[in-house]
Amino acid sequence: MAAGPDWLTSVMHLEFTEDPSAFLAATRDHLAAEPVLTTVIATVTARFAAGGGSEAPYRWWVIARDDAGEVTGVGMRTAPFAPYPVYLLPMPDEAAVGLARRLHERGEVVGGVNGALPAAQLFAGETARLAGGAARVDEHLRLFELGELVLPPAPPGRLRPAVRDDADLCLTWFRAFGADAAEQAGREGEHAMEEFSLDMMLTRIDDGLIWLWEDEAGTPVHLTGANLPANGVTRVGPVYTPKAQRGRGVAGRAVAEVSRGYVEQGVRCCLFTDQANPTSNKIYEAIGYRRVADMMSLLVE
């Protein structure tokens, strides 16, 4: 996407920027006020600001403001995978509809949207209306935050941080996680984990964001990842166990141990689940994760 001026204004008190640092500076208080709910935008934008974001055909952030200039909602479009969805957090209804109209006016084709309700639904509905198409739900998501941690029994083996020699395996499992999650939910097409490269995995390993559970023989049988904390919150995931190793309690114990490490540092933990996968929801609730909000991924066709 061709670079434009740092700030572009439009109707409905919507401000666009392609500068992640400028966006973070303008929305710092808004993001920090609800750090669990805003975790995705906060962590993704921080990664871009540090020069580590993925290449994507679209790269912009938007701020909704009221008449007094106060931030009332935020969104972004940075996904490197088709249909390059917009990501929206709560905002006034008129801002969500106005954003859809503004993108239509500038000729930007939007094939999907993820995020908070009802903003995502309103945006998708208006986008579809303007394009003469239809919006449909692709995935129901649930955001959880850790309450009181309950450490489950440990299966044989141990959790350890991944090292650089594990990078190829970790990359394979990241991609397998995305494919398995899509398959379980009956979705087709590209998924977010396809974007990952070996260099990106090495960066995550160097940042201490990947753990492996190894069995008694020292063979890795599970991966748990996390994201760098933003505003005192880390987002745990992905969580992946190969099919042959499932049902042994490894995922619950690994996520609990990773979460405990962050809690001991004074960092709050959250994670997302696919509501179509009741197994993962049950596992996380059993170790103390509690529902914060339901979100949605919609396609516009």
d(CA 186, CA 196): 22
Please tell me what DSSP assigns to residue 273: E
Please give the model's pTM, rounded to 2 decimal places.
0.88
Domains in the chain, start-ordered, CATH in brackets?
7-133 (3.40.630), 158-293 (3.40.630.30)
Identify the burial level of 83 via C-beta atoms within 10 angstroms of its C-beta, where 0-12 means exposed, 13-18 middle and 19 or more buried. Answer: middle
**Which H or E element spans position 291?**
strand 289-300
Identify the burial level of 111 via C-beta atoms within 10 angstroms of its C-beta, where 0-12 means exposed, 13-18 middle and 19 or more buried. Answer: middle
pLDDT, one tens digit per residue, over 181-240 is 666 655 555 545 667 889 999 999 999 999 999 999 999 999 999 999 999 999 999 999
Residue 9 has pLDDT above 90, yes or no: no
d(CA 115, CA 43): 15
pLDDT band at 4 (very low <50, low <70, confident <90, very high): very low
Look up residue 252 and give its two tokens.
């619950």
pLDDT of 12 reads 60
pLDDT, one tens digit per residue, over 164-193 is 999 999 999 999 987 776 666 555 555 456
Measure Cα distances from 241 to 118, 177, 221, 248, 283 in Å.
33, 8, 6, 10, 13
